Amino acid sequence: MAPHLELEEELVSVFRSVLRTAGFVGGPMVEEFEREFAQFCEAEYCVGVGNGTDALRFALIAAGIQKGDTVVTVPNTFIATTEAISQTGGRPDFVDVEERTYNMDAWKLHEYFETQCCLDRGTGKLLNRKTGSRVAGIVPVHLYGQMADMDPILELAERYKLLVIEDACQAHGASYFSRRENRWKKAGSMGVAAAFSFYPGKNLGACGEAGAVTTNDPMLARKVRMLRDHGQLQKYRHEIEGYNGRLDAIQAGILQAKLKCLPRWNQKRRTNARRYGELFRSQAGRIILPFESHRTKSVYHLYVIRVKNRDYLQAHLAQANITTQVHYPTPLHLQKAYATLGYKEGDFPVTEKAAEEILSLPMYPQLEHCQQKRIVQEVISSLAAETVGTRNRNLIPATASEGRAD
C-alpha cells in the first residue's frame, strides 16, 4: 500500500480541519511541522516553503550567494540544484562524483580549488581562474538517500571560506558519522543551511508540492522566512523583495502526520535494500549494487544498481511490468540548458559512465519480499538472456542480420 493510502483517514481529517478553520496558508500547523522537522533533522530551525527548488534558492540567497558568484556542485543531480544556483544569480560549476556512491568527490573538489581557482591577494577571495568570478559556495547533493562525505567538504569550505548548502532533497533522515565531531549527524544539520523537497515521491512526501530549509543560524532562518513571503515578517512591511514561496497548511498537516511514520518507513527501505543485496548475492560481478559507506546510513530514497547493458535490462523489466527509472540519463553539464557553460563530453567521466549504466529499481517502504524476489528474478533472467544472446551472436556468420532478439 502506498504511504499516502496507509494514512488515508488521518490525511483526510487534516484536510477537514484546515477547511473548517480556513487557515490555508501559514498558521499553527505550519509552525508545528517546522518545529518537528527541525527536531527530526537535529537542526535549530526549519522554515517551510513551497517546494525543494524554492528551499535551495532561498537558502542560497539567505546564506549570501550573490550575482556572479560561482557555486560548485555535481553534474549527477536533478536540474533543480543548478536552477536554484542560476536563479540566485550565481554560476553553477561542477566537480565529478565518486565512483561508488555517486556523491561529490571531495578529492576532486580539492583538485578543483587547487588547479582551477586562485586566491585574490587583495581581498583573500577565491576566484575561478577562467571566469574570474568569486567562488562562494558548495552544494553537495545527498543523492539517492545517502549523505555526501561532508567532513572533507566542510574542511575545504573552511579553508577557502566558502558557504556549504546541503541539497538534502533526497535524504530525509539520512545520517553521516562526522570524524570531526565524533558523532552521527543528520542530513540538514551540517551546512550553513539545507534544502528539503517534500515532492510526493520523496521519503517524506506531501500530497502536492512542499519543501523546507533547515539551519542552525537564526538570522538565516529569519531571512528565509522573509524570502518565502514577499520579503515581509509583518503584513505589508516589506524589508526586502521576496517571493511567493510559502508552505500551505494542508501540506504541513499532511507532512506532520507522515513525519511520525518516517523513521519506520526509512527503516523499511533499509531492510528492503538489505534484502535486495541478499537476493542479488549470486550476481556479484555482473551487477553493481548500491555502496553504503560505513560512515553513512542511507535512507534509500532510490535503489540504484549498475549494469553494462542498462537499456536492455530496463526494456526487459518494462515487459514484465516492472517500472524502473534512470536518475539521471543526461548529466547536467551536457544538457542543452547549460550549453553556455562550455562543457563537453568527457569532462566528468565518472558521471557520464554512470549515466549509461545506472538503473533505479522499485524502492518504497511497502515493497514486499515476494515483489522483490520477482524483480530480482527478472533482472537475473534478463542478464542470462543477454549472455545467451551475446554468445549466439558470436556464432552467427557475418552475413546474418543485426539486432536479433537478445
Grid coordinates of 358: 545506472
- b (16+ CB within 10 A) / e for 213-237: bbbbbeebbbbbbbbbbbeeeeeee
Find out whether 91 and 84 touch, Cβ atoms under 8 Å.
Answer: no
Tell me how far CA of residue 181 lies from CA of 184, 185, 399, in angstroms: 8, 9, 66
Nearest approach in angstroms of CB 77 to ligand PLP is 5
Binding mask 38-67 for ligand PLP (x = CB under 6 A): -------------xxx--------------
Q: How far is the CB of 255 from ligand PLP (least distance, A)?
A: 12
Closest CA to 49 of 36, 33, 64, 65: 33
Size of the site for ligand PLP (CB under 6 A): 14
User: Rounded to whole angstroms, how far apart are CA atoms 259 and 264?
Assistant: 10
Contact status: 78 vs ligand PLP (CB under 6 A): yes
Return d(Cα 31, Cα 41) in angstroms, integer.
15
- What is the DSSP secondary-structure string of 185-219? EETTSSSSEEEEE--TTSSS--SS--EEEEES-HH
Cell of 261: 511514520
Minimum gap (Å) between residue 359 Cβ and ligand PLP: 17
Q: Which is nearer to ligand PLP, 277 or 329 (CB)?
A: 329
Q: What is the b/e burial string over 357-366, where b = at least 16 CB atoms within 10 angstroms of the residue's CB?
A: bbbbbbbbbe
- Closer by beta carbon to ligand PLP, 350 or else 376: 350
Residue 316 or residue 327: which is nearer to ligand PLP going by CB? 327
Q: Candidates 61-69, 75-83, 106-114, 342-350: pick the segment binding ligand PLP (CB under 6 A).
A: 75-83
Distance separating alpha carbons of residues 201 and 204, to the nearest angstrom: 8
Amino acid at 45: Y
Query: By C-beta, is 45 or 199 nearer to ligand PLP?
Result: 199
User: Least Å distance between CB 170 and ligand PLP?
Assistant: 5
d(Cα 202, Cα 2) in Å, to the nearest integer? 12
CB of 160 to ligand PLP, least distance (A): 24
Nearest CA-CA partner of 226 in 248, 242, 210 = 242
User: CA 9 to CA 313: how far, in whole Å?
Assistant: 39
Q: Which is nearer to ligand PLP, 199 or 343 (CB)?
A: 199
CA 68 distance to own-chain centroid? 25
Choices 91-99, 163-171, 228-236, 375-383 (CB under 6 A): range interacting with ligand PLP: 163-171
Residue placing its CB nearer to ligand PLP in the complex, 203 or 272: 203
Q: Is the dihedral of CA 52, 55, 61, 65 positive or negative?
A: negative
By CB under 6 A, is residue 77 in contact with ligand PLP?
A: yes
CB of 82 to ligand PLP, least distance (A): 9
Q: Which of 133, 146, 197, 372 is in the footprint of ligand PLP by CB under 6 A?
A: 197
Q: How far is the CB of 142 from ligand PLP (least distance, A)?
A: 8
**In the complex, residue closest to ligand PLP by CB:** 52
> In whole angstroms, what is the distance from residue 8 CA to residue 201 CA?
16
Tell me whether residue 80 or residue 221 sits nearer to ligand PLP (CB atom): 80
Q: Is 248 in the site for ligand PLP (CB under 6 A)?
A: no
By CB under 6 A, residue 167 contacts ligand PLP: yes
Segment interacting with ligand PLP (CB under 6 A) among 14-22, 72-80, 270-278, 304-312: 72-80
The grid cell for 282 is: 549470486
Task: Give least dist CB 14 to ligand PLP, A.
Answer: 20
Q: Does 214 bind ligand PLP (CB under 6 A)?
A: no
Site for ligand PLP in 124-153 (CB under 6 A): 141
Q: Binder to ligand PLP among 3, 188, 191, 211 (CB under 6 A)?
A: 211
Q: Residue 405 CB, nearest distance to ligand PLP (Å)?
A: 36
Binding region for ligand PLP (CB under 6 A): 51-53, 77-78, 80-81, 141, 167, 169-170, 197, 199, 211
